[in-house]
Amino acid sequence: MTGEVSGSGSWVLGALLLLPLVGAAVVTGLRRDDRVAKLAALGFSVAEFALGIVSWVLFQADGARLQQYFSFDWIPAFGVHLSFGVDGIAVVMIAVIGLLVPLVIGAGWTEKLPEGRTAGGFFALILLEQALTVGVFAATDVFLFYVLFEIMLIPMYFLIGSFGGARRQYAAVKFFLYSFLGGLIMLASVIALYSMSVDELGTGTFEWADLVRVASDAPLSTQVWLWFGFFIAFAVKAPLVPLHTWLPDATAEAPIGVAVLLVGILDKVGTFGFLRYLLPLFPAASDTLAPLVLVLAVAGVVYGSLLAVGQTDMKRFVAYVSIAHFGFIALGIFAFSTQSLTGSVTYMVNHSIATGMLILVIGMVIARGGSTRIADYGGMAKLTPLLGGMFLIAGLSTLSLPGTNSFVSEFLVLIGSYPKAPVYTIIATVGMIFAALYVLWLYQRVMQGPLRGAALTGGAAAEQVAGGGSVATATQTETKKILDLSSREKWVLAPMLVLVVGLGIYPKPVLATVEPTVAATMCAAGQADPVQSAERQCQ
């Protein structure tokens, strides 16, 4: 096997890909001892997060588009390589998943698993999913990207189908079929790109940089049908209306930690695909079909906001609010301005943090009340003030309150999208306002008002946490404790709290990393803004 390595950080990226795979194998071998398996999984995930930060520090935002690059022959007869590298968007998203996985492991430390399932098996699948997701963000061979795009469905299928709720099998199969079939449609476009490279270059290749040169010069009619092959796969993953219906079911049935990965990371693969593949590969088609995407994006914002208010389940509520957020991200991408694209990319990061925090908090509420039904709660902040405060902060971040991390992202999307698509932007803004109001309604319903339902009776899982007070039940004289945040839960939420506030005050680390990649994407798509500085000129 021959290979190529360029960039001093290539060893870091290689380690980022291999470490969770090794961790998954080790944790699987420890599955008979749950405590040791949990500690091993946590150790590997923390080490992966540290490597993600090292990769980010080594990344030079003003350097080459793809860095820490390495490539080895895989199927040389067809020009397929194990090629990996990171740009400004990928390196940040890899760091985000590196943050979320140890928090998910910590949050699931005391989670009761279905009969016959082990913590080792559960956390091994999470580490495997992490490895594959890092590979998807870092792959620079389009065929390799497709393979990882499909294989990453397998651990998630088992995480939902083996460890989820009562309807877990239905939700897992629906999730798998939607994403797998979308990927098969993309495969047709990938094969067509390879055929075009043979005609144009004299030799077949799947390398992203080579295919950008080949596909971007293709006639509009050719670009359009190739564009749809990629778009459908990414629109399912994002998800955009009307290809979204798998998400509420999967989120509702998945364990809390898996729901965090679904909404916080897996869905971002779709919007990442828009940026890495659709715009540079098919610039003319992206420009021609942008109005279609804007319609779907705005429909998603409105639809997700309206459907959220009718939900009776907290996890499904978050799923529909997230559908509105994904529509907003797509709006910023296809409004084609540097500001709107930068806003969408940072929104991807901040949505992972804010919504991940909200889902984790909801999981802590469910652990105390034993129910996901909104109507089963009320007044819990009286008994769990710290949990109530975290719920409020997470909610304020999801509605992009100034001073929280999501505000800058939403502001950039709005000011960047309005000049290009004013009507769509206004409609989307109204939809986002309703989504924000519904999040506040959820907080009010669960945490404020008189004590009722689960806040009175506690829940089957209440004894699993520590601290807090007690209250007499409505129908019994004995008391049931509703407990405030344990030390473990505080440690899980603390990094999220720091980022919600820290990135709200000082977003420069993320902005400075992603802006050059956004500018390069705009140039590749033929959509560059008027020149603002020498650094912004397309080469």
Give the span between the Cα atoms of 341 and 51, in whole angstroms: 27
**How high is the pLDDT of residue 453?**
65
Mean pLDDT of the chain: 88
Stronger pLDDT, 537 or 159, i.e. the higher one? 159
Q: How confident is the model at residue 185 (pLDDT cuts 50, 70, 90)?
A: very high
pLDDT at 433 over 90: no
Give the span between the Cα atoms of 248 and 165, in whole angstroms: 13
Residues 6+ apart with CB under 8 A from 57: none
Q: How confident is the model at residue 462 (pLDDT cuts 50, 70, 90)?
A: very low
Of the listed ranges 4-13, 112-121, 220-229, 350-359, the least confidently predicted one is 4-13
**How high is the pLDDT of residue 438?**
82
Range 171-174 contact pairs with CB under 8 angstroms and sequence separation of 24 or more: 171/246, 171/249, 171/250, 171/252, 171/253, 171/254, 172/250, 172/253, 174/245, 174/246, 174/249, 174/250
Q: How confident is the model at residue 534 (pLDDT cuts 50, 70, 90)?
A: very low
Q: How confident is the model at residue 268 (pLDDT cuts 50, 70, 90)?
A: very high
CB atoms within 10 A of CB 259: 27
Q: Write the pLDDT tens digit of every residue in 470-481.
A: 333 333 434 457
Q: How confident is the model at residue 177 (pLDDT cuts 50, 70, 90)?
A: very high
CB atoms within 10 A of CB 475: 7
Q: Write the pLDDT tens digit of every residue in 331-361.
A: 999 999 999 999 999 999 999 999 999 999 9
Spatial strand order of the sheet with 3-6 comes to: 3-6, 67-75, 80-86
Give the span between the Cα atoms of 466 and 464, in whole angstroms: 7
Token couple for 131: 């490895």
pLDDT at 18 over 90: yes
Stronger pLDDT, 509 or 472, i.e. the higher one? 509
Which of 56-65, 137-146, 476-485 is most confident?
A: 137-146
Q: Write the pLDDT tens digit of every residue in 374-400.
A: 888 988 888 899 999 999 999 999 888
Secondary structure letter of residue 242 according to DSSP: T
**How high is the pLDDT of residue 6?**
62
Of the listed ranges 21-30, 111-120, 130-139, 299-308, the least confidently predicted one is 111-120
Pick from 422, 103, 425: nearest CA to 258: 103
Place of tokens 């991940």: 356
pLDDT at 233 over 50: yes
CA angle 283, 149, 124 (to 5 degrees): 150
Report which secondary-structure segment, H or E, holds 71.
strand 67-75
The residue-averaged pLDDT of 185-198 equals: 94
pLDDT at 277 over 70: yes
pLDDT at 172 over 90: yes
pLDDT at 535 over 50: no
**How high is the pLDDT of residue 539?**
53
